Amino acid sequence: MEGWDKDWNQTTTGTLTYNNLSEGDYVLHIKSKNGSGVWAEALTQLKITILPPWYRSWWAWLLYATALVFLSYSYLRYKSNRQKLKFEEQLARVTAQKEKDLSEKKLHFLPILPMSSEHC
């Protein structure tokens, strides 16, 4: 087989088996004998293509790339949402503290207000 064997293989059973062929293109050259044992002049060629395993095919790589993009997008979105949530929690704490401070100032200011209006 061109691309694999260097020499001819002769078989008495009419079959030929190749194991563990790497992916790629091969040409099997076939020559036969007639019933009298005379080799035929004609040479038959059989072109064979061994494809890569499914996990190394172009559509598998496309699937891997799509999964990587999706996972990256999901991670960035998760981080963004988490950061937004932290900001909103911090804003709520600051707002609550300001409201508390304002409420305390009102309580402090309101008792003073009636006394100052009586003096006018």
Per-residue pLDDT tens over the stretch 23-61: 999 999 888 887 787 888 888 899 999 999 999 999 999
pLDDT in tens, 54-82: 999 999 999 999 999 999 999 999 999 99
The pLDDT confidence band at residue 103, using thresholds 50, 70 and 90, is confident
- Can you read off the two tokens belonging to residue 73? 């997008």
Close Cβ partners of 33 (under 8 Å, ≥ 6 residues apart): 39, 40
Q: Interior CA angle at 8 toward 3 and 9, to 5°? A: 105
Radius of gyration of the chain (CA): 42
Record the pTM. Answer: 0.52
List strand residue ranges (DSSP E) for 24-101, in order. 24-30, 44-50
